[in-house]
Homo-oligomer: A and B are copies of this chain.
Amino acid sequence: MSHFLKAHIQEIINPTDEEFEVIQNFFTKKRFRKKQFLVQEHQHVSEIFLIEKGILKSSIIDNTGKEHILQFAASNWWISDFAGFFKQETSSLAVDCIEDSEVYAISYDDLNTLCAKIPMMEHFFRVKSNFGYVALQQRILSLMSKSAKERYEDFIKQYPGFIDHIPKQLIASYLGVSRETLSRLYN
């Protein structure tokens, strides 16, 4: 039995041990190395991932080849191209590892079967989806209406303890500023 997975699920619902055994069987533990991709652009998005260990990012490459980082994620976060996954379309985003990572993966069909089988998982995923929405709204408001300094402060609040694990170049890309501007924000 995965204590990590159980503790993560118990943050929201309280399944019995028997129910938890059923739930766990719908997930597949996967390991990825630094720089490996979990989701690639323009490909079918087959799974969403709950992170046990490691740090990952989701990003988009624009027409000029520049990478724009949508989100970082670490232990206890979910990551994927959720839009591609929920619409069962090809991915707009890429998801890859900043560090070696261990995740629990669940497929689209398994997610729906699990929710039908254990209805409290429907509640779990509704709450998780709401929280995902909240994080994305904060991100978009930060991008639309805040200065680089305020975005940097939001970043520190959003990802406490991340700063030392993420290359400066990626933080600059996330904030939408140059490396030089980022250095000034540090001081």
A62, chain B: closest CB distance, angstroms: 4
A82 at the interface (CB under 8 A from B): yes
Q: Is the CB of A130 within 8 A of B86?
A: yes
**Do B176 and A137 touch (CB < 8 A)?**
no
Stretch at the interface among A28-36, A99-107, A141-149: A141-149
Interface residues of A in 121-140 (CB under 8 A from B): 122-123, 125-126, 129-134, 136-140
Decide if A60 is an interface residue (CB 8 Å cutoff): yes
The reply to whether the CB of A83 lies closer than 8 angstroms to some CB of chain B is: yes
Contact partner, A68, options B61, B129, B131, B145, Cβ 8 Å: B145
Q: Please state if B130 and A136 are interface contacts (CB–CB under 8 Å).
A: no
How near does chain B come to A81, taking the closest CB pair, in angstroms?
A: 8
Contacts of A136 in B (CB 8 A): 133, 136-137, 140
- What residues of chain A have their CB less than 8 Å away from a CB belonging to chain B? 60-62, 66, 68, 70, 81-83, 86-87, 92-93, 115, 119, 122-123, 125-126, 129-134, 136-141, 143-146, 176
